[in-house]
Amino acid sequence: MLSDPRFTINVDIFIPFHDCDPMGIVWHGNYLRYFEVAREQLLNQFDYGYRQMLDSGYVWPVVDVKVKYRRSARFEQIVTVRAVIAEYENRLKINYIISDKNTGEKLTTGYTIQVAVEKQTNELQFVSPDILFARMGIEK
């Protein structure tokens, strides 16, 4: 089921000057922002973006993140951020690969893990809520 193209996205990002240090190299914290840009577009592909999450009665905080820096991204480079849903039953794990758009060279890899928390009670959900399965078109 996860071969569905709605569960993978590629987003191109042009590296702006303000994301870089004085040497023109992307500051390490900005890679998390690039993950976020791809994650938001990925979730919107199956109509469960952040607004829909909130409207469904759940918040989905990031509880774990990993970033592996392989090569530096640089000012004016165009990178492609690939985001893929890796897990969804008990948590939402999304894997990322950031690569140079022109050469395909891998620059950064990583993942984020989010969990559902019921907005009204602030209770952690140990199984992803039915709304996620419904939006993904997966029978529970």
Q: Is residue 73 situated within a structural domain?
A: yes
User: For the domain that residue 37 is a member of, what is the CATH number?
Assistant: 3.10.129.10
pLDDT at 2: 73
Q: Give rounded-to-5 percent helix, strand, coil for the chain.
A: 25, 35, 40
User: Against a cut of 0.85, is the pTM above it?
Assistant: yes
Question: In angstroms, how far is the first alpha carbon of the chain from the final one?
Answer: 12
pLDDT tens digit sequence for 87-140: 999 999 999 999 999 999 999 999 999 999 999 999 999 999 999 999 999 987
Sign of CA dihedral 67, 71, 74, 77: negative
Domain annotation covers residue 68: yes
Q: By residue range, what is the domain housing residue 106?
A: 5-135
**Is 81 a domain residue?**
yes
- CA 44, 47, 51, 53 torsion-angle sign: negative
**What pLDDT sits at residue 4?**
87
pLDDT tens by residue, 14-47? 999 999 999 999 999 999 999 999 999 999 999 9
Is residue 36 a part of any domain in this protein?
yes
CA distance 79 to 60: 27
126 in any annotated domain: yes
Q: Is residue 61 part of a domain?
A: yes
Residue corresponding to tokens 């759940």: 58
Would 66 be classed as within a structural domain?
yes
pLDDT tens, position by position, 55-102: 999 999 999 999 999 999 999 999 999 999 999 999 999 999 999 999
**The pLDDT of residue 1 is above 70:** no
The total number of structural domains in the chain stands at 1
Q: Is residue 106 part of a domain?
A: yes
